Structure formats: C-alpha cells, structure tokens
Chain A
Amino acid sequence: MQSTLFHRAAALLTTLMISGVAAADWTQRSDLNMRPGVTAVSQDVYHLHMIILGIVTLIGVIVFALIMWSVFAHRKEKNPVPAKFHENVVLEVVWTVIPFFILIGMAIPATRVLINMEDTSDSALTIKVTGSQWRWHYEYLDYEGDNNINVGFFSDLATPPEVWQRPILSGGLFPVGSAQEQVGVEREPLTPETAFNYMIEVDNPLVVPAGQKIRFLITADDVIHSFWVPDFGFKKDAIPGFVNESWTKIPEDAIGMTLRGQCAELCGRLHAFMPIEVKVKSQEDFVAWLAEQQEAAAEGPDMTPFAGLDDAMELGKPIYDRSCAMCHGAQGQGQGAFPSFQQTALMTDSNRIQDNIDILLHGRGAMPAFRAQLSPKEIAAVITYQRNAFGNETGDLIQPDDVQN
C-alpha cells in the first residue's frame, strides 16, 4: 500500500512478461490469466479458453493490421483519388462463410467439454451446499452408499472486520456508521506478507477426499448466491427453492492442497465477504475426519453451565466478532438498518432476555436465524457478551439451558 508508482509499473511489467505465472508469492494464485486448476475439468476448460483466446487474438490482429495498413497506405497524401468500389459479392460471401466455419471449429470442443461437465452420475460423495447471507453451509449427505452421515457445518469469512474496515473518510457523508470511531486507528498494511489469505480464508473449510467423484447439490436460503471454486471448473448459482447439481473429482496429487473460491452472484451487502475454502484430503484421512465429525455430532451439544460471567464472556467475544460484528459493528454501534447494542432497551432490560434469545434463534427481518449455526452454549455465550459489553454491564448471565427453541 505504500508502494510507489514505480513499484507498480515494475510489477505490471513483470507480470506481463511472465504471462500466466504470477509473482513468486502467488504460486496457487494468478493475477493475469485463468489458472489451469487441479481437476481434469478445470484443465479442459482452461485449454478451451486458451484455444478460443488464441483464435480471437489472431482474428483481432488480422483485422487491426488491415485497418492500420489502410490508415497508413490509403491516407489522402498518399492516395489523393479514392477508389470507387462499394460492393463485391464474392468477398462478402467469403467473409460470411469463413467465420461460420471458424465458429463450427470452436463449437465442437466446447460441446464435448460441456457434455462431460453435466454428467453427475456415479458419484461417491454428495455434499449439499447452501448459500445464505453471508456464509456457506455444507452438509455431507451420502458417502459410498451411507446416507446417514449427519455431518454439517457453517463456513464464515475468517478475516476479521477490524482488518478489512480501514476508513479514511469520517462518517457523515456516507452511511458508514462505524467510520467515525475507526478513523486514525493504526492498521497493518495489507500485503502478501501480513495477510496472505486476506478475504479468501474461512473458519470451517469444506473437507473433501481426492480421487473420488463428488456431487454438489447447491441451493440457497434467502437470495441467489453462486458457488464458484475455479479449480472445480464450474460456477453454479445457489437459488432459493431450487437444487442445482454439479460435480468434481480432485486428483490424488492435489492431496494437502487448499483450494479457494468466492461467491459470484450479488447477494447483498457482504457479497464479497463469503469465500469458499476447500481442504483436499486422501481418502483414508477423509474417512477418519468424517468419523471424527460424526462422533462430535453424536455427542450432542455441550450443555454444561458456565461457571461464571467471565467464562461466558470469553467464549462469547470471538463468536460476536465472527458472526455479529459485520452488521452490528465491532463495538455494537450498529449501522444503517442494523440496530445498535449500546445501552438499547433490548440489551439492558432484563425482562427482554427471552426476546433477545428468540431473535437470535429464529431471526427477524434481515436478521438471519442462528439456531442451526450456533450451539445453545454459543448462543448463551454471545448473548451474555452483548449484555455485558458495549457499556451495557447488566450482569445478566445466560446459561445453555436458558436457550430453548
């Protein structure tokens, strides 16, 4: 961010020269061209892309060369008397028919790749992907014939708001709300060294096995989102009321890799803040991981009461920062339509603790329901935190047992 104009010019030239390969820091990233990706499908798409890019570049170069030739050779000084011709049937037929054949040449490989991409049969693993404002929910539905897996979790952006909120304007002109307090706060510059996975890191990544065909069932809870991991070679919209299908098969040599993607359909305020992170494991490791998850799920939620207020506050703060602060502000100050928590009636009136719990469990208006993503203990912790932070100091301690559906 302190980089100078010179630095940027140098970076531009370097990336242009080593086309397709980004600077050394970004072995799995690109800033210039599509990456081939790790799967056979994404590599097919990459090759298709390069072929078409080659063809259109060639057409462009020929057309522009003709124009430039005309611009230099047929200018008035050199050619004072213009020719008179204004049609030529043979020429016109030729330049209608030749593009037609070029198009057929492009359509054949495109059709072949597309038919392959649409075949979701014979998958070993089925994962349901649900987009919501603004997180992904992954449910493992079926693995090698076992359709009673019961493993599912939410996946949130892990880059905290205090890293991405860097206002330079004071609030007022724009409805920023939090800007005023944030101005002048010293921040680490965003560089590859300090924040390599900035905006593309999550708390709970999707875990998948290599070497097996994985089918995704993609849908949404609220508005349309789009599930896009470039390495899978496809992008598929997550549409409320619809279930879309897609598949991928990650080769064995990608074991241990982390694949990254993003939401690709405008889904509201935090559209840019719901990335996708995929961890590739070997089949054995995946089976072990799945068993571990199933065990944890089978134990049921942890309902042990908090020993004291501090225990609950300690657990509540990170949950607040991850799940609430994006809308309600890191200091609970609220912004725009999102209410403030600073000494508001809901937060300080102890008769309204149940309201507070209900809103969190079931949602209200733009506020999503959290009963599926947070355990009763987590909900108790975060409400305890809200009611004792931001100058509220109510002393209310909510226990997991208080959180009833």
Chain B
Amino acid sequence: MADHHEHHAPTGWRRWLLSTNHKDIGSLYLWFSFAMFLVGGLLAMVIRAELMYPGMQVVDPDFFNQMTTTHGLIMVFGAVMPAFVGLANWMIPLMIGAPDMALPRMNNWSFWILPAAFSILIGSVLMSAFGPGNPPAPNFGWTFYAPLSTTYGPASTDFFILSVHLMGISSIMGAINVIVTVMNMRAPGMTMMKMPLFVWTWLITAFLLIAVMPVLAGAVTMMLTDRHFGTSFFDAAGGGDPVLFQHIFWFFGHPEVYIMILPAFGVVSAIIPTFARKPLFGYASMVYATASIALLSFVVWAHHMFTVGMPLAGMLFFMYMTMLISVPTGVKVFNWVATMWRGSLTFELPMKWALAFVILFTIGGLSGLMLSITPADFQYHDSYFVVAHFHYVLVSGAIFSMFAAVYYWLPKWSGVMYDKFWGEVHFWSSLISVNLLFFPMHFVGLAGMPRRYADYALQFADYNWWISIGAFWFGISQLFLLWVLIKACFLKKGEKATDEVWEGAEGLEWTVPSPAPFHTFDTPPVVK
C-alpha cells in the first residue's frame, strides 16, 4: 500500500512545491527556519561589530536601527515560529497516530507564503544596504511603535506591513491545521490526557496564535491607513493615541512570547523522561500549568509599558498578574527536576541541550520575575537588562529546545545518527559562548546602558567587547550544526538508526521505521 502511494508522489522540485505530505512540509519549514536563523544571526553580527568598541565604526546609526529591527523580526517570525511549526508538522501526526495533517493543501499554502513574506522583508534590507540613496529598511524596532513607524516611518514600512500580513496568514493557517488535526485525527484510544505533552503545548499554542495574530494584523492595518488613507488611530495631532498602538501591539506581543516558548516546554517534556528512563512527573499538572500560562498571557501585556504613564491601579494589576505567571512556570521547572530525580540518567546530546534549556531558561525566568516588579522595572525598562532577559528565554530557551528537538528526532527523520563529535563541539561551543554573549548584558543593563543604542558611554566599553566576542563565537558555532545536518540529511553518513533510536524513548513516533517512511499510520495504531 505504501509503495503504491510513493509511485504517485512527484519528484524533483514538484515534490517540494506541490507537497501535501506533512513530513516534506515539516522539512521545508525546518530548513527555512534554519536559513532565517543564519540570516538573522548575520544581522546580529553587524550589530555586535558596531558595538564592539565605543564610537561609530562600521555602519551609520540609522543602518544600525535597521539591523536591530530586522534581526528581531526575522528571528521571531522567520526562525523561531516556523521552526516550531515545522516540528509540529513532522511530529504531531506521528505522535497521535495520524496519517497526515488534517488539511494538507492548506499546509502547503501556509508554508509557501513564508518565502514570499521574507523575500519582501529581506529585500528592503538588501535595497538599503546595497543601493546608496534607497530608502532605509524598517528602522523602528521590531515593536514598531507609532508614530516612529507611521508618520516617521521610511517608505519600506509598507513592504514591512505586507510582509507581516503574510506571516500572520501563514501562522493562522498553521494553527488551524494543528487544532483540526489534534481534535479529529487521534488514533483510537489516544484520549486527550494520553497525548504527549508536545501535542498539548502545541494545541494550546495554536489557540493563542488564532487569538492574537488577527490583533497584529489589525495593528499593521491601522498603521497602513494612518500612513496612506488619512486616519489618525495613532496620531495625537488627529485625535488619535500613540499609546493605543502599544496596547494593541502588546496584546498580541505577550501571548506571542508564549507562542515561542510553550512548544519548547513540550519538547523538553518529551526528552527528559526518555533520558531519565522515568515517566514525566506530574503530567496533568503540566497540562494545567501550560493552560494557565496561556490564559494569564492575555492579562499581563501592559508590563511591557510600565513607563508610558499608566494609572497606579493599572500598574499594580499588571505587576501582580505578571508575578503570578511565575507560579505555573515554576511548577514546570520543578516537574522536570522531579522527573530526573532518582531516574537513570544518561547525557546524549538531546539531553544535554534539554538540561541547558532548563537551567538557562530558568535564569531568564528569574530575571523576568525581577522585571515584573514595577518600581524596579522603571530602572530596568528598555535597558540591556531586558535584552539579556529575553535572549535568555528565546535563545537559550526556545532555540536551545529546537536544537534539543533536532538532535532527538534527527535519527528518526534522516535514518542515521548525528555526527557525535561535531554535535558535541556544537553543544559545548554554543553553551559557553551564549553565556559570554548574554550574561554580561545583565551587567551593562543594570549599570544603565539603554537598549537599541548604536553608541554608548565609556563605562560600558569592556563588557560590550566581551559580549561581541561571545556573539561572534556563538554565530560561528552554528556552522557546526549546519555540518551535522548536511552530513545526516544529505550525505546520509553516520551510524544507522534503529526504530526506537533511544533506549528509554516512549511514544508512537518510535514505533515506525527510521527514517520514517513517506506515509505512516495509513492504518491507525491502537493505543492502549
């Protein structure tokens, strides 16, 4: 039966452009996100080259702002989000025993929108960088606060708006697909409370996406009409309100940060039990904790805006709600520790990445708790302390969990074990450099260096030099991963992987052959 299908599968470029197969589309998403990770990383290298020494050496201050803006946008919308969608595509059907995603054609469309969206965005950067006299690329920060992005935005802002609309459409379609698949295509016996936690976290993430991506679309549409059609949503001179923009943006933006971290929780909750050879501690409380984090994410947005001049009651409300988030997040960390406790631990690469995730994400979480304290936030706000915080949760959090996932499932995807030597080099090199890169940012932030600064006072010079060294080192380290992936995926060199791959692995994905055949679970498995 499987053979029969494969005869009909198109080959060459048609296989990819016309694909409706969840594994192929998953691979497309993953490679796309890795490419965006490298592009976004390159922009970060420009930022760090400029900040290595005080004084403007490498770029113009406005080009610096274009770099911080597009680095943020590409990493958030191009690297982290599509990486998790790719993972969902590959793993959710395999984990719940479904033959494919529920809406395969929409799946194809939601991926192929992305290259268009990012060509537009990156195009405006290339035009700015290589065409003297061209308008600058978006230069108003990834948060694009009005009126800097409306009245004062460069001509490329309209490209940016179109690009964000496309990314939003893609994300919403991806989310619909996840929800429909999980709700309708679980194998017999796979009840909701038997689903792997990765599926649960993605289901909740998908609802968050559907709730907030339209809000972002609304925000950029209002920007568009402010810029070209005479409205004044965000223009005080026309009776509008620049602070309204921030409320709308962060009503999207805060759930967005959980969109980028909840699937990471799912990944780590899959990996730690495997290498502890012990079931996940507190499965039910993990599900409830994830759901409470998602719900709380809708009532904390204004903690990004403590300095806009809110009433006292507003600040107190958002401070208390934000502090509350640390309770379910703490539950998750404690559950992971309890899962390891008295287990039988081994430290293959996926486990190493997962452990690094737990520790470094916790550092980011603890600095997040500090940021929730409103009076202290008046000092932390918009300083490098914030930059340190969100890079700890996004780089050594979300991205490290992606690395963990890649090393964990790569043998299942490619059929061969990853190169252990270069994998270890990638891990240790990234682990040391990521801390050299982001930890000193806490110091310069507390000492008073504002973020998005192209140049700085001299007391920040020593740490900035170290941060830049960490950044270049971390950037180069990712080339080791590129080599590991090329070797396993294209050269197919390496130890042949067994079906189960890992000794302690549980779950339906380990019951299919490695590499996973083009079609799996044509006949649904029965889950006891």
* Chain A residues near B (Cβ < 8 Å): 1, 8, 11-12, 15, 22, 26, 29-35, 42, 44-45, 48-49, 52-53, 56-57, 59-60, 63-64, 66-67, 70-71, 74-76, 79-88, 91-92, 95-96, 99-100, 103, 106-107, 110-111, 113-115, 117-118, 163-169, 171-177, 179, 190-192, 195-200, 222-224, 226, 228, 230, 233-237, 239-242, 244-245, 260, 262-273, 335-337, 366
Which of B140, B330, B459 has the most chain A CB atoms inside 10 A of its CB?
B459
Q: Which residue of A lies closest to B342 (CB)?
A: A83
Contact call A230/B448, Cβ cutoff below 8 A: yes
Contact call A164/B55, Cβ cutoff below 8 A: yes
Contact call B363/A266, Cβ cutoff below 8 A: no
Contact call B242/A100, Cβ cutoff below 8 A: no
Q: Which residues of B contact A230 (CB under 8 A)?
A: 379, 448
Known: A49-B379, A270-B61. A76 touches B236 (CB 8 A): no
Cβ-based interface call for B119 (8 A): no
Known: A56-B366, A235-B379, A239-B309. A32 touches B446 (CB 8 A): yes
Q: Which residues of A contact B456 (CB under 8 A)?
A: 199, 272
Partner of B147 from the list A31, A33, A92, A222 (CB cut-off 8 Å) is A222
Q: Which residue of B lies closest to A112 (CB)?
A: B375
Q: Which residue of B lies closest to A41 (CB)?
A: B375
Contact call B379/A60, Cβ cutoff below 8 A: no
* Distance, CA A88 to CA B334, complexed state (A): 12
Partner of A335 from the list B60, B128, B330 (CB cut-off 8 Å) is B60
Contact call A82/B343, Cβ cutoff below 8 A: yes
Q: Which residues of A contact B369 (CB under 8 A)?
A: 52, 56, 106
Binds A, one of B109-117, B189-197, B461-469, B519-527: B461-469
Partner of A82 from the list B151, B276, B338 (CB cut-off 8 Å) is B276
7 shortest interchain CB distances as A-B pairs: A241-B236, A244-B309, A56-B366, A83-B342, A272-B453, A166-B55, A82-B344
Q: Which residues of B contact A239 (CB under 8 A)?
A: 236, 242-243, 308-309
Cβ-based interface call for B452 (8 A): yes
* Distance, CA A230 to CA B376, complexed state (A): 11
In the assembled complex, how far is the CB of residue B495 from the closest CB belonging to chain A, in whole angstroms?
A: 20
Cβ-based interface call for B231 (8 A): no
Partner of B373 from the list A48, A196, A198, A235 (CB cut-off 8 Å) is A48
Contact call A242/B236, Cβ cutoff below 8 A: yes
Give the secondary structure class of B's interface: helix
Cβ-based interface call for B227 (8 A): no
In the assembled complex, how far is the CB of residue A121 from the closest CB belonging to chain B, in whole angstroms?
A: 13
In the assembled complex, how far is the CB of residue A340 from the closest CB belonging to chain B, in whole angstroms?
A: 11
Q: Which residue of B lies closest to A71 (CB)?
A: B345
Contact call A174/B243, Cβ cutoff below 8 A: no
* Distance, CA A159 to CA B526, complexed state (A): 73
Cβ-based interface call for B152 (8 A): yes
Contact call A240/B242, Cβ cutoff below 8 A: yes
Partner of A336 from the list B136, B145, B312, B319 (CB cut-off 8 Å) is B136
Known: A199-B455, A200-B457, A233-B379. A222 touches B152 (CB 8 A): yes
Which of B347, B443, B450, B465 has the most chain A CB atoms inside 10 A of its CB?
B450
Partner of B340 from the list A67, A199, A235 (CB cut-off 8 Å) is A67
Q: Which residues of A contact B35 (CB under 8 A)?
A: none
Binds A, one of B260-268, B354-362, B484-492: B354-362
Count residues of chain B with CB under 8 A from any CB of chain A: 108
Cβ-based interface call for B497 (8 A): no
In the assembled complex, how far is the CB of residue A116 from the closest CB belonging to chain B, in whole angstroms?
A: 9
Known: A52-B369, A70-B341, A99-B326. A45 touches B242 (CB 8 A): no
Q: Which residue of A lies closest to B152 (CB)?
A: A223
In the assembled complex, how far is the CB of residue B361 from the closest CB belonging to chain A, in whole angstroms?
A: 11
Q: Which residues of A contact B337 (CB under 8 A)?
A: 63, 66-67, 70
Known: A86-B280, A241-B237. A190 touches B54 (CB 8 A): yes
Q: Which residue of B lies closest to A163 (CB)?
A: B55
Contact call B65/A266, Cβ cutoff below 8 A: yes
Given A271-B61, A273-B455, output 12 extra A-B contacts at Cβ < 8 Å: A22-B459, A30-B448, A32-B446, A64-B362, A71-B345, A75-B344, A75-B346, A107-B323, A110-B319, A242-B309, A265-B382, A335-B60
Contact call B378/A234, Cβ cutoff below 8 A: yes
Contact call B243/A242, Cβ cutoff below 8 A: yes
* Distance, CA A167 to CA B61, complexed state (A): 12
Partner of B281 from the list A48, A85, A273 (CB cut-off 8 Å) is A85
In the assembled complex, how far is the CB of residue A144 from the closest CB belonging to chain B, in whole angstroms?
A: 26
Partner of B59 from the list A174, A192, A199 (CB cut-off 8 Å) is A174
Q: Which residues of A contact B379 (CB under 8 A)?
A: 34, 42, 45, 49, 230, 233-235
Contact call A166/B466, Cβ cutoff below 8 A: no
* Distance, CA A268 to CA B334, complexed state (A): 43
Known: A106-B323, A264-B450. A91 touches B338 (CB 8 A): yes
Known: A82-B277, A100-B327. A167 touches B343 (CB 8 A): no
Cβ-based interface call for B513 (8 A): no
Q: Can you show 9 pairs from A to B with CB atoms below 8 A apart?
A: A67-B337, A70-B341, A74-B341, A76-B277, A103-B324, A165-B55, A239-B308, A241-B241, A262-B448
Q: Which residues of B contact A83 (CB under 8 A)?
A: 278, 341-343
In the assembled complex, how far is the CB of residue A61 from the closest CB belonging to chain B, in whole angstroms?
A: 11
B290-330 interface bits toward A, Cβ cutoff 8 Å, 1 = contact, 0 = none: 00000000000000000111001001100110011011001
Known: A34-B446, A67-B359, A103-B324. A175 touches B145 (CB 8 A): no
Contact call A264/B132, Cβ cutoff below 8 A: no
In the assembled complex, how far is the CB of residue B110 from the closest CB belonging to chain A, in whole angstroms?
A: 32
Q: Which residues of A contact B59 (CB under 8 A)?
A: 169, 174, 176
Cβ-based interface call for B58 (8 A): yes
Contact call A268/B136, Cβ cutoff below 8 A: no
Q: Which residue of B lies closest to A187 (CB)?
A: B55
Known: A63-B337, A190-B55, A269-B65. A199 touches B457 (CB 8 A): yes
Contact call B378/A172, Cβ cutoff below 8 A: no
Contact call A30/B346, Cβ cutoff below 8 A: no
In the assembled complex, how far is the CB of residue A183 from the closest CB belonging to chain B, in whole angstroms?
A: 11
Cβ-based interface call for B367 (8 A): yes
* Distance, CA A31 to CA B446, complexed state (A): 8
Q: Which residues of B contact A234 (CB under 8 A)?
A: 307, 378-379
* Distance, CA A224 to CA B450, complexed state (A): 15
Q: Which residue of B lies closest to A222 (CB)?
A: B152
* Distance, CA A110 to CA B359, complexed state (A): 27
Contact call A199/B54, Cβ cutoff below 8 A: yes
Contact call A96/B327, Cβ cutoff below 8 A: yes
In the assembled complex, how far is the CB of residue B473 from the closest CB belonging to chain A, in whole angstroms?
A: 13
* Distance, CA A64 to CA B345, complexed state (A): 16
Known: A45-B376, A198-B457, A224-B147. A67 touches B358 (CB 8 A): yes
Q: Which residues of B contact A106 (CB under 8 A)?
A: 323, 369, 373
Known: A99-B327, A164-B455. A30 touches B61 (CB 8 A): no
Cβ-based interface call for B423 (8 A): no
In the assembled complex, how far is the CB of residue A79 from the closest CB belonging to chain B, in whole angstroms?
A: 5
Cβ-based interface call for B279 (8 A): yes
Q: Which residues of A contact B461 (CB under 8 A)?
A: 190
Contact call B333/A63, Cβ cutoff below 8 A: yes
Q: Which residues of A contact B342 (CB under 8 A)?
A: 70, 74, 79, 82-83, 85
Contact call A45/B375, Cβ cutoff below 8 A: yes
Contact call B383/A53, Cβ cutoff below 8 A: no
Cβ-based interface call for B454 (8 A): yes
* Distance, CA A261 to CA B443, complexed state (A): 17
Q: Which residues of B contact A192 (CB under 8 A)?
A: 458
* Distance, CA A176 to CA B57, complexed state (A): 10
Partner of B458 from the list A56, A165, A191, A271 (CB cut-off 8 Å) is A191
In the assembled complex, how far is the CB of residue A327 from the closest CB belonging to chain B, in whole angstroms?
A: 10
* Distance, CA A200 to CA B112, complexed state (A): 48
Q: Which residues of A contact B446 (CB under 8 A)?
A: 30, 32-34, 49
* Distance, CA A226 to CA B355, complexed state (A): 39
* Distance, CA A126 to CA B150, complexed state (A): 32
Q: Which residues of A contact B65 (CB under 8 A)?
A: 266, 268-269, 271
* Distance, CA A59 to CA B337, complexed state (A): 14
* Distance, CA A179 to CA B444, complexed state (A): 29
* Distance, CA A226 to CA B61, complexed state (A): 18
